[in-house]
Chains A and B, each alone.
Chain A
Amino acid sequence: MSEDDKKSVLLEIKDLKIEGYSDENWIEIVHGIDLTLHRGEVMGLIGESGAGKSTIGLAAMGFTRDGCRISNGTVLFDGMDLTTATRSERRALRGSRIAYVAQSAAASFNPAHKLIDQHTESSLLHKVSSKADSQEDAIELYRRLRLPNPEEIGFRYPHQVSGGQLQRAMTAMAMSCRPDLIIFDEPTTALDVTTQIEVLAAIRDIVDQFNTAALYITHDLAVVAQMADRIKVLLKGDEVEEADTRKMLADPEEDYTKSLWAVRSFKRDQKSEPAAGETPLISVKNVSASYGPVKVLDGVSFDIYRGRTVAVVGESGSGKSTTARCITGLLPPTQGEILYDGKPMPPNYKNRSKDQLRQCQMIYQMADTALNPKKRIGEIIGRPLQFYSGLRGADLKKRVDQLLDQIEMEPSLYYHRLPSELSGGQKQRVGIARSLAADPAFIICDEVTSALDQLVAEGILRLLDRLQKELNLAYMFITHDLATVRSIADVVVVMKEGKVVEMGPKEAMFQPPHHEYTDLLLSSVPEMDPDWLSNLLDQRGLDNIGEAAHQKKT
């Protein structure tokens, strides 16, 4: 392909407006976006939830979800306007010339068919190649994407393949007709960091090899920095700015972009080590637990001191949340014990006293489902006050108001609202107030920021930090996000497959040398430097990242 071809425009979106239907009204959700993408170019679309990234990405295929419509503008793909094209014209493009890679491969592969049958569907449908050729090509693509057993893996069903492998298989599927354009819609958001890096490397590699243009949609700046040639920042359906990746990272113009860039700046210093001889507030002693016959925790021990934060990190399935369930007594351990202030607690929460229950509270990942949608905020926060402290009437109201003040929400405005009338961040604050209402000494925060946008998450972290200082709270912070760990932890516990592989003070944990697994985990967290992925791959080689690294060890 000559340099001119490479520069020719593939996709041109002009003044695109999209409306969504809600409460019997059409409301504009994308307000006139322009976008130009050349052949072989990768553009990153970033923004918080509600920015309209996915909606724009789908519109680039001439597709809108149910309840949405394109109300204005043109989407020119290689000269054809997709907004006026007939259904069959658009259908002929999808899968063959424009392909889509979805956020959750596990949900986007049809559970009833084998991977390879789903892979070959597009090329058969669009009559690009025969079934046999297409299968052969699939195996070749699996090999290039470094999937294990490329000859055999396609003949499995989706549930028989791991999440990271599925995501690569989906990228292979998108490549099946060698499209001119691929829309990547948050392809690594649902993956663990160690798996993410492998998928990122695979995607970048294959997009380069076939000179495919791509729209890469994500909310993760560090990821987009690795993948995109240019970045477009979106906010609530409007464009904020667009620039080449390096320029955008080094020198953003708009305040909003700068604020996004600054998110990861919050960091508090590690607190001093507790005095020798101080009794830990919570002590997990050699705890093992199982779900039915499956052993999920194996001899886990760590201590949590007053006023300190212990961050528990690890991939999904490593036993972080199970440890929390053992501490709260929801899952009685099969071995070992939980000490509170040096004294053992009954393993089952049913046998604990009200005071023991009060001391140990939880904040959940999904504030949406953790708050009763039928109760008003005042009732939600007031319930533990009634239950633990027996407050009634005016005393109760006064205490709820105090708690609302503490989480920086104006009592007169929010006391009578329902959870559905709050934003995600506000709901999480109510979750925090509810746990504080019990007047605990110890709070378990289970992935409390992972469902939130970065700016909002930052606010929650600052609030938790302030409350810790004011109330001398101890936190157990469960997370898979190492940036969060860096900002608020005192002690880091790294878990893998139900065991603690390494633990220590934060400052020591972020300095080499590490346990091999900690090292893998830490080095897999993307950094804002656009050369980070290339440098890392140069340094470690493809076999020392992600699943390949796991497999090599076992």
Chain B
Amino acid sequence: MGGVLPLIGKRLLLGLVTLLVVSIIIFGAVELLPGDIAQQILGQSATEETVAALREELGLNRPSYVRYFEWLGGAVQGDFGVSLANERSVAEQLGPRFANTLFLAGLAALISVPLAIGLGVLAALYRNSVFDRVANALSLVAISSPEFFLGYILIVFFAVQNQMFPAISNVTPNMEMGERIYRTMLPAITMALVVTAYMMRMTRAAIINLLASPYIEMARLKGVPNGKVITRHALPNALAPIINVVALNLAYLITGVVLVEVVFVYPGVGQLLVDSVTKRDFPVVQACCLIFAATFILFNLIADVGAILSNPRLRHPK
């Protein structure tokens, strides 16, 4: 494994550097907005003196790099400051919501990943058949429709006409697991539909790409049946691109929930982000963005490491 560890270490380091750059961009973007937090809190009618007094109190007169490092230092320890809207700690507000978002994304992933890889393998196995064509057409439809639209369609069919699932996914912290899954089902299916399509198409393409390889011909000439040719001989070599698209889609599941959470009024980070933007609650917005960025970077990292580990040349050096 000697060759793999330094590679992974390098990727980790790069991920940290990326996160640092992103934090600067997030902080800078808020700085660039017209007006500052003191003005936002006090509103249009505040006098110059009260604004100046609040600035002094909040430390806004200090140079921005000092405040950046203060904010970063806090963020590293899990302290994202205090919400402007209700003066509660940001971390305290964000924590349970982030857990909710993770739960929703996790459920969507549990549905979509096995489904996507299974369908992709089947589509590759029966390529150019009716099944393949239908699967491809449906996946194109799913990719091309925006999530909020899919969400409303699902609500129409499964909540209004059939009343199988609730249209509003209001979960509470001490809800039972079964109930929680039941209520989260529609948003999870919505998200799963979108990402399944991407992952399925990529799995199919990655496998078909390999079918012209000499070792696939060799497997056929050894009398290996079709299904085993795909699962045993093609799939292990197609893992790197599949891991990549799966990891990127998982990251998308977490960061792309904003719209779906709003449609289903699900108490996750996305909802909080939308609410905070309308209230101009900057500390919360900053924290949400940083969490989204960290998630994206983390999953990219997982994709890279996964691709490295799936390569036998790197796993078993000469």
A residues near B, CB below 8 A?
A: 58, 61, 63, 65-66, 91-96, 99-100, 102, 104, 107-113, 121-122, 125-126, 156-157, 159-160
Contacts and interface: CB of A to CB of B under 8 A. Distances in A.
Interface string B173-203: 0000000000000000000000000000000
Chain B: interface size category: 20 to 34
Given A112-B237, A157-B312, A121 B222 contact: yes
B318 A160 contact: yes
Interface string B193-227: 00000000000000000001111011111111100
A156 B221 CA distance: 22
Nearest to B318: A160
A126 B224 CA distance: 9
A188 to B, nearest CB: 16
Contact of A157 (B219, B221, B316): B316
Contact of A63 (B221, B237, B312, B313): B221
B159 to A, nearest CB: 45
B223 A96 contact: yes
B236 A107 contact: no
B62 to A, nearest CB: 49
User: B213, B237, B312, B313 — which one has the most chain A CB atoms within 10 A of its CB?
Assistant: B312
A108 B215 contact: yes
B222 A109 contact: no
Nearest to B215: A110
A316 B292 CA distance: 51
A107 B233 CA distance: 13
Contacts of A112: 233, 236-237, 312
A91 B316 contact: no
A339 B220 CA distance: 55
B313 to A, nearest CB: 5
Contacts of A107: 213-215
Contacts of A125: 222-224
Nearest to B317: A160
Contacts of A96: 223
Given A157-B316, A159-B312, A159-B318, A111 B221 contact: no
Nearest to A121: B222
B162 to A, nearest CB: 44
B222 A108 contact: no
Contacts of B225: 91
B313 A111 contact: yes
Contacts of B219: 110, 121
Contacts of A121: 219, 222, 224
A113 B221 contact: no
A282 B318 CA distance: 39
B236 A113 contact: yes
Given A94-B221, A111-B237, A159-B312, 18 more contacts: A63-B220, A65-B217, A92-B223, A93-B223, A94-B222, A99-B222, A100-B218, A102-B218, A108-B215, A108-B217, A108-B218, A109-B218, A110-B215, A110-B237, A111-B312, A112-B236, A157-B312, A160-B318
A178 B316 CA distance: 31
A157 B223 CA distance: 22
A91 B226 CA distance: 10
Contacts of B222: 94-95, 99-100, 121-122, 125
Nearest to B222: A95
Interface in B212-252: 212-215, 217-225, 232-233, 236-237
Contacts of A65: 217
Nearest to A117: B232
Contact of A126 (B215, B223, B312, B316): B223
B215 A111 contact: yes
21 contacts: A61-B221, A91-B223, A93-B223, A94-B222, A96-B223, A100-B222, A104-B214, A107-B213, A110-B233, A111-B215, A111-B237, A111-B312, A111-B313, A112-B237, A113-B232, A121-B219, A121-B224, A125-B222, A156-B316, A157-B313, A159-B316
Nearest to A106: B214
A92 B220 CA distance: 11
Interface string B120-162: 0000000000000000000000000000000000000000000
Interface of B: 212-215, 217-225, 232-233, 236-237, 312-313, 316, 318
A157 B236 CA distance: 14
B221 A100 contact: yes
A58 B219 CA distance: 13
A126 B228 CA distance: 14
Contacts of B220: 63, 94
Contacts of B313: 111, 157, 159
Contacts of A157: 312-313, 316
A441 B24 CA distance: 60
Contacts of B237: 110-112
Contacts of B236: 110, 112-113
B215 A95 contact: no
A121 B219 CA distance: 9
User: B212, B213, B217 — which one has the most chain A CB atoms within 10 A of its CB?
Assistant: B217
B214 to A, nearest CB: 4
B300 to A, nearest CB: 24
Nearest to A174: B222
A407 B312 CA distance: 48
A157 B215 CA distance: 14
A121 B222 CA distance: 8
Contacts of A66: 212
User: A65, A104, A108, A156 — which one has the most chain B CB atoms within 10 A of its CB?
Assistant: A108
A94 B218 contact: no
User: A93, A111, A112 — which one has the most chain B CB atoms within 10 A of its CB?
Assistant: A112
A104 B220 CA distance: 16
A157 B311 CA distance: 11
A93 B219 CA distance: 13
A94 B312 contact: no
A390 B222 CA distance: 59
A104 B236 CA distance: 21
User: B214, B218, B223, B313 — which one has the most chain A CB atoms within 10 A of its CB?
Assistant: B223
Contact of A109 (B215, B223, B224, B232): B215
A324 B153 CA distance: 66
Contacts of B312: 111-112, 157, 159
Contact of B214 (A99, A108, A126, A156): A108
A112 B215 CA distance: 10
A96 B222 CA distance: 8
Nearest to B216: A110
A296 B43 CA distance: 72
Nearest to B218: A108
B241 to A, nearest CB: 14
A262 B181 CA distance: 80
A388 to B, nearest CB: 41
Nearest to A159: B313
B223 A122 contact: yes
A66 B127 CA distance: 13
A475 B219 CA distance: 45
A292 B235 CA distance: 34
Nearest to A66: B212
Contact of A94 (B214, B215, B223): B223
Contacts of B318: 159-160
A479 to B, nearest CB: 26
Contacts of B212: 66
Nearest to B236: A112
A160 B232 CA distance: 20
A156 to B, nearest CB: 8
B228 to A, nearest CB: 8
Nearest to B211: A66
Contacts of B223: 91-96, 122, 125-126
B226 to A, nearest CB: 9
Contacts of B213: 107
